[in-house]
Structure 1
Amino acid sequence: MSKQKIVIIGNGISGITCAREVRKNDASAEILVISGETKYFFSRTALMYIYMGHMQYEHTQPYEDWFWEKNRIELLQAWIEIIDFQHKKLICHNGKTIHYDVLVLATGSKPLMINWPGQQLTGVQGLYSYQDLQLMEKNTAGIQKAVVVGGGLIGIEMAEMLASRDIQVTFLVREAEFWDNVLPEEEAKMVSRHILEHGIDLRLNTELEEITGNQNHQVVGVKTKDQESISCEFVGLCIGVTPNIEFLKDTELDTNKGILIDAYFRTNLPDVYAIGDCAEFRKSPNSNRKNIEQVWYTGRMQGETLAYNLTQENPIPYQPGVWFNSAKFFDIEYQTYGNVPAKLPEDMETFYWEDEKGKVAIRFNFSKHSEVIQGVNAFGWRLRHEFFDHAINEEWRVDQVMEQLDQASFNPEFYKPFYRRVIQSFNEQHGKHLKPKKTSFIQRLIGSRA
């Protein structure tokens, strides 16, 4: 393969994974990664821990600074303002021009804003980038009261961040329970209770009307649609993120919410690809996947797949496999596998178990007719990724999963054996007599690797 210059805009998990995998497969390619946010790749999910004092910024960088030169991956910290697709060149904010043979757009996301009155006031912001974190440090210095708007993952992270500094937090969620457009009712209620137990003033069924400020254009409060006024010195707008593609909107590149791509990450322009948060599939990879996948795990897979396609003669389509995501709600860990929608489809059955303290829960969705496992939610219970990858891909019946549930656990030693109580509850509800199997999934897995 002839030497080519691959330029990647964006140094998040998608862009960096693509760069590293290209280098593994092609020793001769010239690779340049451009980002205006930071020079070096860092773990975006760790931003909250910098604010909370658990980590320093340097701790969020998975690779030493020398790693990039050793692997001949050039880094440039710059903002790209113009792309001349016809002549294959980029123009930076400082006027510098960069030419490419292959262009990979991995520009990520930015906080979603919906033009609330007062959202331009000082002390009002979203949270996505390293610059957002620096702004939050400035905006929250010495304050006592804050309002967080938006009942999703970024919202609860910001609430936890603020609470860690003893800042009083009022959390406005327009839904009936926290994140109940994603979580089934029982899980949503459990998380809502947990938020309240951590001293957060959670206001459900509450929508923001406007943000109010003083003569210095500094935020001093918010008003809800119920006309309630809440005083505060900071407002975090956390209603979601949107693809960061504003500078591409008036070009010949096909865009919708994101950059439109096919299953091979190809755009409508030759030698131009898009991956990660900014990419939007023209056709969803499968019936249970969204056209835009703004998740760390899928970003990594997209980077790996595109790198393969750029360096091999026979490209392959993106095949994401079983859906997976994880998060933390304060100190409750959350994992989800497969298809667990907020509202149960008619052709699906569900089994839900929650411990009496309301801190551990597990849900299994399975086909109403075949009893084949469709999806799993787990709270406060670490599950083995490989187990449910196999179970869902191989279409295990829910009975098979239950019988080997002890092997699905990835909890530390001496952790309570919740699986026994789950099997007992399942037997009682479904009139069965299942018991843990002696031949384990782990033995089978070890055997397959031998």
Structure 2
Amino acid sequence: MHYAILGNGVCGMEAALLLREREADARITLVSDEHDHFFSRPALMYVFAGQTTLRDTEPYDRELYDRMRFERVRLRVASVDAPGHALLFEGAARLGYDKLLLAVGSCGRPAPWPGSPGPGLHYFVTLGDLEGLDREARKGQRAVVIGGGLIGVEVAEILHDRGLPVTFVVRENWYFPLALDGNEAKLVTEHMRHHGIDVRLGVNVEEILREPDGRPRAVGLVGGEEAPADLVVAAIGVVPNTAFLAGSALTLSKGGAIEVDDALKTSAPDIWAAGDCANVTWADGSRRPEQLWYTARDQGRLAARSMLGDDVSYRRGTWYNSAKFFDLEWTTAGWVPVLLNWDNTPIDPGPDVRSWFQRVPGRFVSQRIVVKGDRVIGFNFLGSRWDHEPLMEWIHERRSLSWVLEHLHEAQFDEEFMPRFRVLPTARLG
């Protein structure tokens, strides 16, 4: 049996390891045009910041590939011949397979404005993006980062740390409205401005203005204002890295994700898909990719089991994530709807859903707990470190708000450095 895996990120690597664990004699080939070895993509920002090396982001020693007898192909795939069970590479080479896993991840959403693409306009998703941005940042004078999500704030931080003045342009009226309510977004925005970032909220980009030689001069904003820049980063989201599948036998969603069933099988025989590129069913019944490191890992393992013939079905578990806004820790778990607009007007998420919220005076620290009735269903914490596992356990155990508040200090990671959690007089449930 020959298993081919297109993509050697966390999804593809976890699948390969499980396949080898279960089938000692199978042929397993990892295909990637990005890098010979699996590296931690979330750690790329630290490579760009000069805090670590790319080699240090590789979780496994390089000898693992030989021990596991993984074959590696460093070529770009041009198309998939599904009826012929083959990958077709640029340059006419081909690789046959018995079963194929597509774990090709995502790429930066292309900038839609006049003046793009072009020199000095970058993304920050792939290793190639990092290498190109690194070269430009060494000679850049001023940067504009466009986009109000996690990638945008990471890029703003590392460009600022490298000495470039940074303007951060956010289309929405508050930062990261998919995950933060008005109070939380204000806290994060204050924190970014405290670090020297020029944050512009509720501003739309009109075009990338360029010098006669083609280099960026500024980002033109709707209304006529200009944000000077010789380096522009578009951090406006990601799209499935599936352009090479256009016209293939695989069914793609309108957004380009690969349609899969509950066992992560595609519409083509002997082809599976998992990770950022796969369209899966969410708890609310909607279908879209899950663009998280944790879920890519889990889907890779489940796809491998499905390829081995196990009776499996992917079910999205309780949501959790963690990240940093500069040095501001963020931990989230469960369902955490946005209940408060940037202007403090309430948003109705449905019957009997409320938020308990407090912010520590004089500090960039807050806690928000979402309840349905008296049962806790979600957590959103800023400014300190928390262990997501007990938080998820309490959601599954249907704990009450009063019980959680009494025990919340047990989930603190950094209690030796941070004051023990306590309920403040200013805390409110609403």
* Equivalence for 2:379: 376
Contact 1:10 1:106 in 2 (8 A): yes
Range 246-255 or range 21-30, more displaced: 21-30
Range 145-154 or range 23-32, more displaced: 23-32
Contact 2:14 2:297 in 1 (8 A): yes
Counterparts of 2:417 and 2:180, CA distance in 1: 29
Matches within 5 A, 1:359-370: 359-368=364-373
* Equivalence for 2:313: 317
* Equivalence for 1:88: 85
Q: Does 1:345 align with 2:341?
A: no
Aligned to 1:350, what secondary structure does the other structure show? strand
The RMSD of aligned alpha carbons is 1.6
By how many angstroms is 1:288 displaced?
Answer: 8.0
Q: Does 1:209 align with 2:206?
A: yes
Aligned to 1:346, what secondary structure does the other structure show? coil
Counterparts of 1:320 and 1:20, CA distance in 2: 22
Contact 1:150 1:238 in 2 (8 A): yes
* Equivalence for 1:102: 99
Q: Does 1:185 align with 2:182?
A: yes
Gaps of 5+ in 1: 431-450
* Equivalence for 1:47: 44
By how many angstroms is 1:290 displaced?
Answer: 5.8
TM-score for both structures, normalised by structure 2 = 0.94
By how many angstroms is 1:114 displaced?
Answer: 4.2
Contact 2:111 2:117 in 1 (8 A): no
Matches within 5 A, 1:52-131: 52-131=49-128
By how many angstroms is 1:334 displaced?
Answer: 0.5
* Equivalence for 1:223: 220
* Equivalence for 1:159: 156
Between Structure 1 and Structure 2, how many residues are aligned?
418
Contact 2:169 2:200 in 1 (8 A): yes
Q: Does 1:357 align with 2:354?
A: no
Contact 1:301 1:320 in 2 (8 A): no
* Equivalence for 1:275: 274
Task: Give 1:260's aligned amino acid.
Answer: E
Aligned to 1:309, what secondary structure does the other structure show? helix
Q: Does 1:399 align with 2:402?
A: yes
What is the CA deviation profile of residues 113-134 of structure 1, one whole-angstrom value per residue up to 9, with x for unaligned ones?
Answer: 2421111221011111111011
By how many angstroms is 1:316 displaced?
Answer: 1.4
Contact 2:331 2:388 in 1 (8 A): no
Contact 2:111 2:234 in 1 (8 A): no
* Equivalence for 2:342: none
Q: Cα distance 1:412–1:95, how it changes in 2: closer, same or farther (>3 A)?
A: farther
Gaps of 5+ in 2: 340-347
By how many angstroms is 1:358 displaced?
Answer: 3.4
Aligned to 1:95, what secondary structure does the other structure show? coil
* Equivalence for 1:439: none
